[in-house]
Amino acid sequence: MAVSGSPNGGSTPPPPPPPPQQEQANKLGFTKPISLAGPSTADLHRNTELEKFLLDSGLYESNEESASRQEVLRRLDQIVKSWVKLLTRQRGYTDQMVEDANAVIFTFGSYRLGVHGPGVDIDTLCIGPSYVNREEDFFIVLHNILAEMEEVTELQPVPDAHVPVMKFKFQGISIDLLYARISILVVPEDLDISDGSILHDVDEQTVRSLNGCRVADQILKLVPNVEHFRTTLRCLKFWAKRRGVYSNVTGFLGGVNWAILVARVCQFYPNAIPSMLVSRFFRVYSQWRWPNPVMLCSIEENEPHLPIWDPRRNHRDRFHLMPIITPAYPCMNSSYNVSTSTLRVMMEQFQYGNKICDEIELNKSQWSALFKPYVFFEAYKNYLQVDIVALDAVDLLLWRGWVESRLRQLTLKIERDTNGMLQCHPYPHEYADTSKPCPHSAFFMGLQRKEGVRGQEGQQFDIRGTVDEFRQDIIMYVYWKPGMEIYVSHVRRKQLPAFVFPDGYRRTRMPRLMSHAADKMGQYTTKCYSGSSSSERCIKRKNSHEMGGVKPDKPEKRTSVSPQRLECVSPESYTSKLDGTPQMNIECIEAVRPDGSTTKDAKSNCEIKSSDGLLGSDTIIEVGDMQINETCFVDSNHDRLKSRDLVVQNENGVNGDKALDLAFVCLEKAETTSSKRLTNWEENAIMHQMPASRTLIARPMSDSGVYKLKLELG
């Protein structure tokens, strides 16, 4: 059975490979290490404290839970074997063929890497023969078999995902089950998925599904010390969840992304222990010059000729913002979901982590400070609230899964329609209002105007059409049922519902010492300067002499439907919501700093004032005249980046063993002077240029120069 005996799919992660010195160079990627230094006495002490903190935080499962997982995998393996034999018999194959028919279960993800904790799901892959398809046999026949089993609950098929998956709980343990149909009639029990021949004559979804297992195995082969890698990865995943940046579906990073990032740091510092690796992780990635890729090994072109990540040939690859390349063929960008907004948030968090680690090394802070939860609902002044309702819990499970998988599109659409001037922060956490008469789920997104740029006085971001377009995409759900509805509304910080706060009540707002703005480095903040000359004065508000005391025309307000008053609806009422009737009107989303402070930009000579008025008030934000030209790639200091090179080519493929890691030279300097910014890349590493930068232009939208941000769903 693959889940217990196969070296590729064993339910228990394989033991660390032996570390002979002569093989160590092959495990360090395709560049030399940044530092070969080992731990000092202080490092060993900090490492002991870190491991104790992880243990006390409950990140390790008990022996009983480990045994339960192995039993669930054994039962799942029996189920898929019986399922394939049933289909083989129904298709009229011989008795011998029915007897030989087989399917195997492989694990991947955190379970395969050995960094899973209690209560987390198990990523599994079912590999079946060529005559068993995904569309009908897997998502219908096997789905129905599982649905009839008492041990299976919360069964949720997601056939339209980038990697089609079936989610469910088996005896209380969460399972994500993928399916791969390979081009053979009989699947051997000891199938070797590391062999490239397994990729012949398979569809794209099968390649993606197989890559989960192949990538996990390759990562374990490419790190110099598996146990140090596992402890570091366990730590960084815990940190990412506490800081709200762990979610591939939302546009942040998922498990494989974090694993590759940690593995690369392990290659840079092969003799470092986990406490050192955690500190070096933040030092490296807080200064990484995206979109330069993170790669564990060279990208090679093999047979069969499958699409690989190659910006020279693939136009779309050139616009990936945070390329993290998988090490197994075909090498792909595992972080294609990252958007401008989510990259900005992650860079801020990397800088926060780097700051805390520096304090820990100076004995000014403890490890607990690094894992302090991000206070999302104190970080912004304006939020989008996405409410999801259905008639029963089963429908909500399906409906919520579909909406959550599409929330990233809302972020992308807002970025597109505002030329990146309205920044979004989707929060990868689900909330529920149990007081509602029907099953309910809610997601939130922080909104703020892009900092550090000049803005038009009273600039407006009209995203009514954007949200309407998003809604139209959502309601195209294939499995839609009456009662499945989605509401998008604007809420200000003071209007946040009680169910998003601990213990169900709104807490008193604390001083934002570790707030969204305070976490940023100096280049992210816009300081307030004072000046005596008239040329340095900030623009007055709407009652200034420049406007002649005349108030601007206001768009007519429409009736607002509060998400707090959502109720279960009938199919008839839902029809009225699809015919274009306006359902809600959202006004006065202020383009301000999240702390509501008055800020002044020395370059733009503008002042941003805000008040905590209620929804629909006359609060208006005024900024200076704006004519912005901004390149599509901006580094952590908002500098204009010239076209960056992504790959280096040689005779062996896209980038072979002699290729330089595009970040390597700068990171060597960062090791000795961590506080300095990275310098430009060496010219010798330049082979491919990005296309011409796109220009983002924001112009005044009317003569009055004063606007409100309106969002309308109808």
The catalytic site residues sit at 110, 121, 123, 176, 237, 246
176 residue type, one letter: D
Its sign, for the CA torsion 243, 229, 117, 144, is positive
Nearest to 261 by CA among 369, 346, 358: 346
Phi, psi of 80 (to 5 degrees): -70, -30
CA distances from 570 to 303, 387, 389, 483, 714 (A): 55, 17, 12, 6, 18
Helix (H), strand (E) at residue 584 = strand 584-586
- The tokens of 474 are what? 């959502």
| Whole-angstrom distance, CA of residue 668 vs CA of residue 292 | 16
Torsion of CA 251, 253, 257, 258, to 10 degrees: 170
Instruction: Output DSSP code: residue 137.
Output: I
Contact 447, 382 (CB under 8 A): yes
Strand order across the beta sheet in which 440-449 lies: 422-426, 440-449, 382-389, 485-492
| Whole-angstrom distance, CA of residue 454 vs CA of residue 451 | 8
Nearest to 8 by CA among 104, 141, 131: 104
Burial letters 650-686, b for 16+ CB under 10 A, else e: eeebbbeeebbbbbbbbbeebeeebeebbeebeeebe
CA distances from 542 to 551, 598, 622, 699 (A): 7, 16, 8, 19
**Is 194 buried (19+), middle (13-18) or exposed (0-12) by CB count in 10 A?**
middle
Phi, psi of 565 (to 5 degrees): -110, 20
Task: Decide: helix, strand or coil at residue 615.
Answer: coil
Cβ within 8 Å of residue 210, ≥6 positions away: 125, 127, 180, 193, 198, 199, 202
CA distances from 143 to 80, 252, 402, 684 (A): 11, 30, 17, 54
**Is 707 buried (19+), middle (13-18) or exposed (0-12) by CB count in 10 A?**
buried
Neighbours of 628 (CB within 10 A): 18
| Whole-angstrom distance, CA of residue 544 vs CA of residue 620 | 13
Phi, psi of 663 (to 5 degrees): -105, -5
Residue with tokens 């009938």: 570
